[in-house]
Amino acid sequence: MRWTPGKRNDNLEDRRGESGGGRFGGGGGMRLGLGGTVIVLVLGLIFGEDFTSMLNGSGDPATSQQAPPSSAPVASSPAEDRTVEFANFMLNDTEQTWGEIFSAGGQQYQAPKLTLFRDGIESACGFAQSATGPFYCPGDQRVYIDLGFFDELSQRFGAPGEFARAYVLAHEFGHHVQNLLGTERDLRRAQQQNPQSANALSVAMELQADCFAGIWAASANKRGVVEPGDVASGLKAAAAVGDDRLQRMGSGHVNPESFTHGSSAQRMQWFQRGFTESKVSACDTFRR
């Protein structure tokens, strides 16, 4: 990718120096780092579903006991500083892309915040730990990420490179677009009305976010940000987090009926469609 560090976006919130405490109820629970339980990591990977309560038998994240957060100076390495600059670039660049798209449709894009954290954090969607993976919370319109996740993406899931990281962030910002368009609200209502369709609707939601990530990639390509091989890297990242691949990693078995985010092939297909057609109307995954 061709990018340079830019002005710090006011919507970038660096909370890496905070200690959020956080013990899940039921006997003290367990704190997870990025090297924690693989099953929990892959289940929560990228998409904002917190499965850490599975480790102590508690099904309700709201029962977690939280210690008051404390703040400390951010200890960072040059490599992590570079990653922070990259995250800031992506926040700026996706704002430009979606701002232009919304403006062309006579609407105003309301930019999200991007929150960086370590270990654990409290959000409007509840307490989350690093093992949850990056996620978007519609309640506070923030994307949350522990930057150490990118090491997992490269080393454990075989999706290295900056464009793979860009895909992850663009996907989460795609969920914000869905929130602004009312898609997220409509989906939750439909899931409540028809619980049997909940998984299929969730798959459609995630695939649309992949398609929106492809739209951003197409815009970045026109502006010279994308280099040869970058799109292939993005497709590899999409394939790395397909439900079928994650299920094989977790249990050795694949159960399509339990998919919530789509297969590797589906994720690649919809990212590619967004990149190729570069318009929101091409991303109607609910009528595919």
Ranked by mean pLDDT, the top range of 18-22, 83-87, 148-152, 155-159 is 83-87
Q: Where is pLDDT greater, at 74 or 149?
A: 149
Alpha helices by DSSP H, listed for 146-251, are 149-155, 162-181, 183-193, 198-222, 230-240, 243-250
Q: What is the pLDDT of residues 50-90, one digit of tens each?
A: 444 433 333 333 333 444 455 566 778 899 999 999 999 99
Q: Mean pLDDT throughout 7-25?
A: 74
Are the CB atoms for 45 and 241 separated by under 8 Å?
Answer: yes
On the question of pLDDT at 34 being above 70, the answer is no
Measured distance CA(230)–CA(276) in Å, rounded: 14
Whether pLDDT at 273 is above 90: yes
Rounded to whole angstroms, the Cα distance separating 52 from 39 reads: 10
Continuous segment of H or E residues that includes residue 129: strand 126-129
**The pLDDT value given to residue 100:** 97
Rounded-to-integer distance, Cα 180 and Cα 163, Å: 25
Sequence spans of domains, the chain: 12-287
Lowest mean pLDDT among 129-138, 162-171, 212-221, 271-280: 129-138
Q: Are 209 and 180 in contact (CB under 8 A)?
A: no
Q: How confident is the model at residue 275 (pLDDT cuts 50, 70, 90)?
A: very high
Beta bridge partners of 143: 114, 136
Cα–Cα distance, 214 to 271 (Å, whole number): 5
Q: Which residues pair with 70 in a beta bridge?
A: 19
* Average pLDDT along the chain: 82
What was the pLDDT predicted at 263? 87
Question: Using an 8 Å Cβ cutoff, are 50 and 120 in contact?
Answer: no
Amino acid 30: pLDDT: 33
Q: What is the pLDDT of residue 239?
A: 83
**Is 145 in contact with 116 (CB distance < 8 Å)?**
yes
Q: Is the pLDDT of residue 269 over 60?
A: yes
* Predicted pLDDT at 38: 40
* Residue 20 confidence class, pLDDT cut points 50, 70, 90: low
Q: pLDDT above 70 covers what percent of the chain?
A: 80
Q: What is the mean pLDDT of residues 113-127?
A: 94
pLDDT (0 to 100) of residue 238: 85
What pLDDT, on a 0 to 100 scale, did the predictor assign at position 73? 67
Q: Is residue 74 classed as helix, strand or coil in its secondary structure?
A: coil
Average pLDDT of 221-227?
94
pLDDT (tens digit per residue) in 230-243: 988 888 888 887 87
Of the candidates 87, 97, 141, the residue with the CA atom closest to the CA atom of residue 280? 97
Global pTM reads: 0.81
